[in-house]
Amino acid sequence: MVDIKEEDGKSTTVLIIETIAALMTAAFGFVAALAWNTAIQTALAQIFTNPSDPTGQFVYAIIITIIAVIAIVLIGRVLAKYKAINGKRNKSK
């Protein structure tokens, strides 16, 4: 059985709802990623018409890698900013 411990004064119900919300958010993100995957592949298939030429796949991989790196950096910055704000609030209490 999973032991759910209360943390930071949060009730078990709040922890469960937060977890469900995080999972649902991830699921919607995954669906959006699949939609973009299809859209980018379709666009590149129009440009690179030879299926035996891997150039289109390399271009696709580079585009996705650049988008992923930019998104990860931006998410990290936002998280660091809010952690700093939260740390300042906790110290002032």
Q: What is the pLDDT of residues 55-87, one digit of tens each?
A: 888 998 999 999 999 999 999 999 898 888 877
Res 4 pLDDT > 90: no
CA distance 42 to 85: 43
> How far, in Å, are 33, 40, 50, 55 from residue 47 at the CA level?
21, 11, 9, 10
Q: What is the C-alpha to C-alpha distance for residues 32 and 10, in angstroms, rounded to an integer?
A: 31
Q: What pLDDT is stored for residue 66 in this prediction?
A: 94
Phi, psi of 18 (to 5 degrees): -60, -40
> Can you give the pTM of this predicted structure?
0.60
